Amino acid sequence: MDHKKVAETVIEAVGRDNLVAAAHCATRLRLVLKDDSKVNMKMLDSDPDIKGTFKTNGQFQIIIGPGDVNNVYDELIKMTGLSELSTDDLKQVAQKNQKFNPVMAFIKLLSDIFVPIIPALVAGGLLMALNNFLTSPGLFGAKSVVQMAPNVKGLSEIIQVMSAAPFIFMPILVGMSAAKRFGANQFLGATIGMIMTTPALGGAGKFWDIFGLHVSQTNYQYQVIPVLVAVWLLAFLEKRFYKWLPSAVDFTFTPLLSIMITGFLTFTIIGPVFKGVSDAITAAIVWLYNTTGAFGMGIFGLSYSAIVTTGLHQSFPAVETQLLAEYARGRGSGDFIFVTACMANVAQGAATFAIYFLTKNEKVKGLASSSGVSALLGITEPALFGVNLKYKFPFFCALIGAGVGAAFAGLMHVTAAALGSAGFLGFLSMVPKSIPMWALSVAISFIVAFVLTFVYGKRHFKEDVVEESGTVESAGDQVAQQEKAEQIIKEDKELHDEVIAAPVSGKAESLKDVKDPVFSTEAMGKGAAMVPSEGTIYSPVTGEITVAYETKHAYGIKSDEGAEVLIHIGIDTVNMKGEGFTSDVTQGQHVEKGEKLGTVDLDAVKKAGYDTTVMTVITNTASYANVQRIDGVDKKHGDDLIAVTKR
């Protein structure tokens, strides 16, 4: 790679005067720009050394690759005269460069609180759906499974208990998560939730007589908004008491006073007022759904992906949580927002696959195929920002597909009993009786979006999408090339394999499941990911250390057999600046397969708020006929993880 030439391309494409600040991590340039709309995307996309771009948190990120990104960054700094910054410094610059948006700040607040508790709601909701399979008549016969096979009644009852628990004690989950977000002690937040749901409460019909004041003993099971407000007050009081009380007594009296005051105000003011607010909001949403029906669902489906591009969808879990809680109480019909998300995500995936069949550009094909699969499994950002919005018309065709599918789902009263993967696997979260119509709705979304995108692309965007930039090959040229390739393969059938070992012990998973588009879209190359169970990192191959970062969060190794391997420990852990990491190797050192490279303190990474997933990527994937993750979930370091096959 000509690092200077790539740096020149980047500067010309983004605009020298448009650059505010720059930093880099193990794989990508991270830029803060005055105006992202001024970037010449065609220039960046046409450079074979640039593997992709995306925007996040006020940063414009350009994927270069390990071993090269630091050199490109050095050249960029020389040419522009910008000061060298760490990624953490750049993050602060990006935040200062963005205007404060109170609406987005509130949405991020809700997202920070509710996203961590989604796994508990998914588990409870899916268990509820499973119990519905066992107890609902008409699914497998005139009678329910429990009625036809009484010996499973006990199993059904225990599943019912497990499924109801996350919703009954919702205030405890919300209390812990909200306390962390508001800066209070998490266990005090959980305590407030426990106080609001304790079985000792007599219910709304009973009262405490406190100096002549009648305080209702309302139980706040299934509630969300009252506990949010209560924990905000707890955080406010706790911070003040720690500041005001002498250190000799604050350890004892700060928790006591915070809980006692918050608890009293919760039962007298916060609980009654905000329970009414919560009930009114839920009733309004349900009324809107029941009143607008298929029309309302169609409009929602038509706009859902557009909402995703703004980030406003991050507030939806707060609403869905209340809808699911009401369903768990037997008061509601379920979650229709999740149903709409399924339609929208599948439609965006379908449009992306249409681009795959339209384009002859191999780089676009690769991105379209990987991001299309990701969208069908519920993660649409790579498809949205990497393909559909780039060409515009696929995005709008997908909106139409989602609108038609969602309208049909509304007409058939399709609802969900749980959260989950909002894509092809969404049937697991549906109310059992809704599954057949859900499947038909998803099929409608996919077909409409795919057909519209393909037909429109064929007729109107041949030069931009169907043809690769530059000269277009004739059909005869393509046939000749195909015959030549087949002849080469025929002449040399010997396959040369190399097996890359697991660098750490833990659970193996697909690279496409990683919550970072650089890795999930396979822009850096194919490979595998692992959720580590221990913090020692070992070399997956015998070869030379080509990259050993000062932050110790990533290693580059070129094996003696030719595989170029990137080991990236955690997501965005470059921001930890080496804290919690150790390294036993240096650049240029030759290591044996299974030799210790370094360590990571997994607890420190989690405490800092970062994902600990370890990515192993073959960065020269293009040099191989096949790069494939080897089956198996639980693996120890040294176990076979990835097979690479040469032509």
Residues noted as catalytic = 25, 568
585: helix, strand or coil: coil
Do 24 and 59 touch, CB atoms closer than 8 A? no
> CA 131 to CA 517: how far, in whole Å?
36
Strand partners, 634: 507
> CA 255 to CA 237: how far, in whole Å?
9
Look-up of token digits 């210790």: 596
Contacts of residue 373, defined as CB under 8 A and 6 or more positions apart, other chains included, come to 349, 512
> CA 71 to CA 1: how far, in whole Å?
10
Do 339 and 357 touch, CB atoms closer than 8 A? no
The DSSP call for residue 416 is: B
Do 638 and 594 touch, CB atoms closer than 8 A? yes
Report the candidate in 468, 442, 439 with the shortest Cα–Cα distance to residue 355.
468
**Edge-to-edge strands, sheet with 640-646:** 496-501, 640-646, 626-629
> CA 637 to CA 597: how far, in whole Å?
12
Give me the count of residues in the chain. Answer: 647
Main-chain phi, psi angles of 582, to 5 degrees = -130, 155
> CA 532 to CA 166: how far, in whole Å?
27
Reading phi first (left if > 0) and then psi (alpha if -120 to 50, else beta), residue 386 is in: alpha
β-bridge pairing 564-569 and 527-532: unpaired
Report in angstroms the alpha-carbon separations of 237 from 63, 109, 188, 248. 46, 19, 12, 18
Reading phi first (left if > 0) and then psi (alpha if -120 to 50, else beta), residue 497 is in: beta
As given in the structure block, the two tokens for residue 452 are: 């519209």
As given in the structure block, the two tokens for residue 353 are: 């696959």
> CA 509 to CA 636: how far, in whole Å?
13
